[in-house]
A and B are shown apart, each in its own frame.
Chain A
Amino acid sequence: MGNSTSSSGRGHHEDSVDYGQLAPQGVYTGPRDWNQSVVTQLIIERKLAPFYRPLEEYEDSWDDEQILAARKEFPDHETAASESSTRGEHGGTVRSTHPHRRPPGAKEQGSIPEAAVYRGAVECPICFLYYPSNINHSRCCDQAICTECFVQIKRSEPTTTHLVSEPAACPYCVQDNFGVTYTPPPWRAGIGADGSGYASHPTTPRTPSMDSASLNATMKARRRSFGHDSKEVVTIDQIRPDWEAKLNAVRAAVTRRANRRIIMRQVGDRLIPVGVTSGRVHPLTGDGASDNNSEGGGESPGEGRTSRRSRRRQQQQQDLNHLLGSMGLGGQDLEELMVMEAMRLSLLEHEEQQRREQAKKNTDGGNQQTNADGEQSSNAGGPSIRSDLPSLPSSAPINSPARDSSSNGSSPSSASSLGVDIGPHQRNRSPTPAVPSPLGPQSLDVPSTLPSRRSIDRSPSPRPRQSSESSRPPPFSTLSAALAATSTATAFLSPSDIPQTEGVGENREQSTASQPGGIPHAESVPARLD
């Protein structure tokens, strides 16, 4: 911390601990993704070394002025502006900066405390900068590490291909569960000092150099290592308490992706992709049960993976979107949108071709064909779905000839076949709201599904519900109608409460889904690392 003048931007002296700061000094410029308030607290409690301004070099023979001059300035620091004036002088002779760098009330004679703390400075083996000898040490192998470097060490980030977040190993001896211990100097200054402030520390200015020497001795004397769970140890998980939530969020995102299906519509003897399900888990608890697969909530022993995933999902549903959003995984998946765009183009081409065929045929038959492939997409046509289907045709007559002519070149015999995820027939799905079909209202009532669908609808095209009757922009309405249909599918399956026969990971249990799953609390997530 040194002089309160130059470090004022980094905190006034009352915000310092033993002449070090509570916030990083800028050795690293990446995101500060640790929990700074936890770190602050640990520094105040003297369980972690404060963020001392490092020296670029250090020689034992240096006097105080040289030490202070060697303290590194970080131009990129957020408070750079406030320090620029000091730095200007800093570049000059040490003498000239001296008066500015002294804390008010500090003595002109004798050792300067904020220089004295650097006596016997040690080089951090990771950033190669010098710090006061009261530095953190690895719990396992007793190697020095500055706080600046310590807060950079973290679990491996889970990726979509590597869905675990391994505990960070000690950078020196590679032992798992990296943690450090810290032995504070025998004196105190700044926060936590008696009375606080410099004035009340008449003795500190002279003592540090002596103390750091004795401190060195104690450091050297210490040879035992600590368990990662011993109370003296600060682990990297402690300063990033959200690691598990992050891991779970990535897993959920991957699960969602894995659940994504391409919705196929059968036309004649061909299957055409008409859309893609998002596979997103909706936070609604009410329809959770309907998504359960036949694995009975995934609790069977053989389904370890599944059950873990499903339980995790239950816990996360409520906060997932919010959390994913914060991680940049939220909202519409880019990948999802790209798949849809690809599909749209493919569809465009297909319909173009169909239009040509249709023009050739030019029969009325096509107009009659309506609901044949109105199969729901979210499930592979299980009997339970089928039983609900008869209601769908009711929307069929509404279909305007114009709309049908383009997409329904196929004959009624093109009805969906079993075992394929057949896309809902977008043409008859789009007018659903206009038709008193029993399904229509329900689909609209699902609050969780609609927002996301709407946003999908919005991006690529005009919304089908409005556009389909009047104009017919085939590919667009087709796609979005298909997407809308997926949500309809969810909705319309929901009330049925019938366990479906697919969708690993789609399973949710109603009971647990309604638990308040506080994502930020890692404890609430039962999932453990593999």
Chain B
Amino acid sequence: MSLPKRIIKETERLASDPAPGISASPHEDNLRYFDVTIEGPGGSPFEGGIFRLELFLPEEYPMSPPKVRFLTKIYHPNIDKLGRICLDILKDKWSPALQIRTVLLSIQALLSAPNPDDPLATDVAKHYKENEKDAQRVSREWTAQYAS
């Protein structure tokens, strides 16, 4: 099965014009599977961390969203223990006009703006809602511990 032109072009553009703080490169043996890193955005509790993710483009891509997961442990209300991400554009709000790049930028933005009202990790979300300062402290600790 040959790779759709779109995936080839996206990969090329990611390489030639990477988004700041984001890298994504395909596996040699599976060009639909990407190793991703996202730098924790400045000013967030994740600053200074480098988070590893995996991204997979399913057969239906771009009509179906890519599957993205954090590999690095992260204390974030919208990311659960398994690294799954609660982000609408990865689910029902996916649009085929979105790309790998826009998805990763959205995830980076999610790190800056946690949304505890739509939690995936309920305990973390509870922590964030009840004591944001303390929750951010834990997020920083985890960032230092796991994402450096």
Contact = CB atoms under 8 A, between A and B. Distances in A.
B61 to A, nearest CB: 11
Contacts of A172: 95, 97
Contacts of A127: 4-6, 62
Interface in B1-59: 1-2, 4-6, 9-10, 59
A179 to B, nearest CB: 15
Contacts of A29: 1
Most buried by B among A28, A29, A126, A166: A126
A126 B97 contact: yes
Please indicate which of the listed interface residues B2, B93, B97 has the most CB atoms of chain A within 10 Å of its own CB: B97
Nearest to B94: A171
Secondary structure type dominating chain A contacts = loop
Interface of B is mostly: loop
Contact of B92 (A56, A125, A156): A156
Given A126-B97, A174-B95, A152 B63 contact: yes
Q: Interface size for chain A: under 10, 10 to 19, 20 to 34, or 35 or more residues?
A: 20 to 34
A129 B4 CA distance: 10
A420 interface: no
Nearest to A162: B92
Contact of A128 (B10, B60, B92, B93): B10
Given A30-B60, A126-B62, A153 B96 contact: yes
A480 B5 CA distance: 55
Contacts of A153: 63, 96
A56 B12 CA distance: 14
Contacts of A331: none
Contacts of B9: 128
Contacts of B2: 75-76
Interface residues of B, number: 16
A27 interface: yes
Interface string B58-72: 011011000000000
A126 B5 contact: no
A128 B10 CA distance: 9
Contacts of A27: 4
Interface in A124-154: 125-129, 143, 149, 152-153
Contacts of B6: 126-129
A337 to B, nearest CB: 29
B5 A56 contact: yes
B26 to A, nearest CB: 16
B10 A149 contact: no
A72 interface: yes
A166 B94 CA distance: 13
A227 to B, nearest CB: 21
Given A28-B63, A30-B60, A171 B96 contact: yes
A169 interface: yes
Contacts of B92: 156, 166
A149 B5 contact: no
Nearest to A27: B4
B5 A169 contact: no
Contact of A171 (B5, B10, B60, B95): B95
Contacts of A30: 59-60, 63
Contacts of B63: 28, 30, 152-153
Interface in A159-188: 166, 169, 171-172, 174
Contacts of B95: 169, 171-172, 174
Contacts of B4: 27, 127
A27 B7 CA distance: 12
B125 to A, nearest CB: 22
Given A28-B63, A30-B60, A128 B5 contact: yes
A174 B4 CA distance: 24
What are the 6 closest A-B residue pairs judged by CB atoms, nearest first?
A171-B97, A128-B6, A171-B95, A128-B9, A126-B96, A171-B96
Interface of A: 27-30, 56, 72, 75-76, 125-129, 143, 149, 152-153, 156, 166, 169, 171-172, 174
Given A126-B6, A171-B97, 18 more contacts: A27-B4, A30-B60, A56-B5, A72-B5, A125-B97, A128-B6, A128-B10, A129-B6, A149-B96, A153-B63, A153-B96, A166-B92, A169-B95, A171-B95, A171-B96, A172-B95, A172-B97, A174-B93
25 contacts: A27-B4, A28-B63, A29-B1, A30-B59, A30-B60, A56-B5, A72-B5, A76-B2, A126-B62, A127-B4, A128-B5, A128-B6, A128-B9, A129-B6, A152-B63, A153-B63, A153-B96, A156-B92, A166-B92, A171-B95, A171-B96, A171-B97, A172-B97, A174-B93, A174-B95
